[in-house]
């Protein structure tokens, strides 16, 4: 097949380019803007990201009864033996200063009597979760940061602009190519430092709490550019998404269980005591699998969440967003239990990055859910994700001055690069892929189903054409195929059960597998799998 000529892109030069506009991307942008001109490239509206929909809050040791060490211990326990302790220490020790910086920027957490209110969520040993407007913490953070970014004189925002590929010259990242969806025009961004803050991969699954933008674009682009990805088998399923028609699924925060809500099966039994000593506040992977097994045992597609032990006035004030959505869906929260079921929620998987956000490619940094630093291990501790975006978003600004600047010669070479061939998959693949991943690579996995998924993804990969970039939908489908292949390969490779990865044919944890799995693409685009140590996996 003859590849048609791709039009020459319009060229923009900046000091820094950031892909993504969630908490990690915007916090990094605001700090980098003190050092130079910043472009924020986002494929949808500025505020459309996982951050916008985060209900639970921010886990941080700010109370005098709490310590960063205690927070770190909880994180390590939840991580199923795969956390890098130095990264966990960085998160918990630098977290308080990052949250205080967020407050300085205008963030208003809920207070009572002048003191910030602290909630408790699963696997935390103490109340340390800060929240805003009850259960609309993510929305308030996104509002705070986006308003600051929009008025900053050194930040240019490019909405509805989707990255198609990273650009490299002489072994370093020099920027990216993108498509301006409003103008249907190709755009090239050049910079000494490119930061991927492009979010997760929840849309790989047909049942997910994630918005439609979460298609693993940054992970796929980094893989094509030669970066390693790690822990791709570890996808966290939230145990309590509202069971109803429609996608994305509405999340019912586990903070409601922190306030006393109880999961019940068809017989009305509070079943979590049979699965874990912490009952309804057990780690997310334990709760999600328990819910799944109760559903299967009862022959139902959901279990019930009982709010009756929470005083009504307290429930209304603490969870106004949840109350409002349940009422819009026609539920009588005063008289009935609410049907819930697990949904794909968060990826511990991502681009290999060190504690300073440096990837395998010079000039390319990565922060937030698209990365894997060994922070979350096999199972993220509740409400650590927003803190991750804050802490490592700030660290990006610290490391960037140490990165070499592009020379005039390199800029010239970058400007003259031929647009990389774009891999395009038919948009129709998306729905089929989501259903395949949900049925074959979901909460419980086994070899036969994983092999079937592997074969189907290989067939789709062969069908991906190399043509001029046409649409967001085509690019997302191609990226989803790329990332789904890596998830399946890693799930097949890890022959044990650990954290969020459960193999019914290997149901026990095997300490010989206390290591990370990494994946990279070779020159022929075949996946190469390897291992990395738990301590310092990104070095």
Inter-axis angle of helices 137-151 and 23-32, to 10 degrees?
Answer: 30
Which has the minimum average pLDDT: 307-316, 479-488, 523-532? 307-316
Tens of pLDDT, residue by residue over 351-399, are 999 999 999 999 999 999 999 999 999 999 989 999 999 999 999 998 8
Tens of pLDDT, residue by residue over 34-70, are 999 999 999 999 988 878 877 779 999 998 899 999 9
C-alpha span between 201 and 211 (Å, rounded): 10
Tens of pLDDT, residue by residue over 480-494, are 999 999 999 999 999
What is the mean pLDDT of the segment spanning 522-538?
A: 90
C-alpha span between 91 and 44 (Å, rounded): 29
Among 147, 135, 176, CA closest to 47: 147
C-alpha span between 134 and 136 (Å, rounded): 6
Among 470, 486, 77, 134, CA closest to 323: 134
C-alpha span between 250 and 255 (Å, rounded): 14
Task: State the pLDDT confidence band at 3, using cuts at 50, 70 and 90.
Answer: very low
4 pLDDT above the threshold of 50: no
What is the mean pLDDT of the segment spanning 451-474?
A: 82
What is the mean pLDDT of the segment spanning 258-264?
A: 92
Q: What is the mean pLDDT of the chain?
A: 91
31 pLDDT above the threshold of 80: yes
Q: Residues with Cβ < 8 Å from 101, sequence gap 6 or more?
A: 390, 394
Residue with token string 């910079």? 191
CATH architecture of 238-344: Alpha-Beta Complex (3.90)
- CB distance 6 to 419 below 8 Å: yes
Tens of pLDDT, residue by residue over 268-290, are 999 999 999 999 988 888 999 99
| Tally of residues, the chain | 539
C-alpha span between 432 and 411 (Å, rounded): 41
What pLDDT, on a 0 to 100 scale, did the predictor assign at position 424? Answer: 64
Given its phi and psi angles, is residue 436 left (phi above 0), alpha (psi -120 to 50 degrees) or beta?
alpha
For 10, the enclosing helix (H) or strand (E) is strand 10-13
What pLDDT, on a 0 to 100 scale, did the predictor assign at position 422? Answer: 58
Among 446, 363, 450, CA closest to 410: 363
476 pLDDT above the threshold of 60: yes
Residue 408 per-residue DSSP state: H
146 pLDDT above the threshold of 60: yes
Where do the domains of the chain lie? Answer: 238-344, 419-512
485 is catalytic: no
Backbone angles phi, psi at 194, to 5 degrees: -115, 130
Tens of pLDDT, residue by residue over 315-329, are 888 888 888 889 888
Tens of pLDDT, residue by residue over 77-114, are 999 999 999 999 999 999 999 999 999 999 999 998 88
Q: Does domain 419-512 have CATH number 1.10.10.60?
A: no
Please tell me the number of Cα atoms within 13 Å of 506 on its side-chain side: 19
Q: How far is CA 403 from CA 173, 194, 397, in A?
A: 11, 11, 11
Ranked by mean pLDDT, the top range of 119-133, 312-326, 420-434, 504-518 is: 504-518
What pLDDT, on a 0 to 100 scale, did the predictor assign at position 2? Answer: 38
Position with higher pLDDT, 56 vs 120: 120
228 pLDDT above the threshold of 80: yes
Share of the chain above pLDDT 90, in %: 71
Which has the minimum average pLDDT: 171-175, 408-412, 461-465? 461-465
Task: State the pLDDT confidence band at 1, using cuts at 50, 70 and 90.
Answer: very low
Share of the chain above pLDDT 70, in %: 95
What pLDDT, on a 0 to 100 scale, did the predictor assign at position 486? Answer: 98
Buried b (16+ CB within 10 A) or exposed e, 391-408: bbbbbbbeebeebeebee
Q: Residues with Cβ < 8 Å from 408, sequence gap 6 or more?
A: none
- CB distance 79 to 381 below 8 Å: yes
Task: Pick the catalytic residue from 128, 284, 445, 503.
Answer: 284
């Amino acid at each position: 097949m003859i590849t048609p000529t791709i039009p020459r892109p319009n060229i923009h030069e900046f000091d820094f380019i950031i892909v993504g506009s969630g908490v990690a991307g915007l916090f990094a942008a605001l700090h980098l803007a003190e050092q130079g001109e910043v472009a924020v490239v986002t494929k949808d509206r500025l505020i459309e990201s996982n951050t916008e929909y985060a209900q639970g809050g921010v886990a941080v040791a700010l109370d005098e009864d709490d310590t960063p060490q205690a927070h770190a211990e909880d994180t390590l326990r939840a991580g199923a033996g795969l956390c890098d302790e130095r990264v966990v220490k960085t998160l918990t020790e630098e977290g308080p200063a990052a949250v205080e910086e967020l407050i300085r920027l205008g963030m208003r957490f809920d207070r009572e009597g002048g003191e910030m209110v602290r909630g408790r969520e699963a696997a935390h040993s103490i109340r340390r979760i800060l929240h805003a407007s009850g259960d609309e913490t993510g929305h308030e953070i996104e509002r705070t940061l986006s308003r600051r970014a929009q008025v900053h004189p050194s930040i240019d925002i490019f909405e509805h602009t989707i990255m198609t590929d990273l650009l490299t010259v002489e072994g370093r990242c020099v920027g990216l190519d993108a498509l301006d969806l409003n103008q249907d025009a190709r755009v090239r961004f050049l910079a000494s430092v490119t930061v991927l803050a492009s979010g997760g991969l929840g849309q790989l699954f047909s049942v997910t709490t994630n918005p439609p933008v979460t298609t693993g674009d940054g992970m796929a682009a980094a893989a094509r550019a030669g970066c390693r990805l790690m822990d791709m088998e570890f996808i966290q399923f939230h145990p309590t998404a509202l069971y109803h028609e429609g996608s994305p699924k509405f999340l019912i925060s586990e903070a409601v269980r922190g306030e006393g809500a109880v999961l019940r099966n068809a017989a009305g039994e509070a079943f979590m005591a049979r699965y874990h000593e912490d009952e309804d506040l057990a780690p997310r992977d334990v709760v999600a699998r328990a819910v799944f097994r109760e559903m299967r045992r009862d022959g139902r597609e959901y279990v019930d969440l009982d709010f009756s032990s929470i005083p009504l006035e307290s429930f209304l004030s603490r969870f106004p967003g949840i109350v409002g959505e349940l009422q819009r869906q026609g539920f009588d929260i005063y008289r009935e239990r609410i049907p819930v079921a697990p949904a794909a929620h968060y990826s511990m998987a991502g681009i290999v990055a060190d504690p300073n956000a440096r990837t395998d490619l010079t000039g390319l940094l990565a922060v937030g859910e698209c990365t894997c630093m060994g922070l979350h291990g096999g199972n993220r501790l509740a409400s650590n994700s927003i803190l991750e975006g804050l802490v490592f978003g700030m660290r990006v600004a610290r490391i960037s001055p140490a990165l070499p600047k592009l020379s005039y010669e390199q800029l010239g070479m970058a400007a003259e690069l031929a647009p990389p061939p774009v891999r395009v998959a038919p948009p129709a693949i998306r729905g089929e892929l989501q259903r395949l991943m949900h049925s074959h690579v979901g909460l419980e996995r086994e070899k036969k189903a994983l092999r079937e998924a592997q074969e189907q993804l290989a067939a789709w990969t062969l069908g991906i054409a190399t043509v001029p970039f046409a649409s967001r939908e085509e690019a997302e489908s191609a990226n989803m195929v790329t990332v789904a292949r890596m998830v399946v390969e890693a799930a097949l490779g890890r022959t044990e059960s650990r954290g969020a990865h459960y193999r019914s044919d290997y149901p026990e944890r095997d300490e010989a597998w206390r290591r990370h799995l990494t994946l990279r693409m070779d020159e022929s685009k075949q996946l190469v799998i390897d291992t990395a140590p738990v301590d310092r996996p990104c070095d």
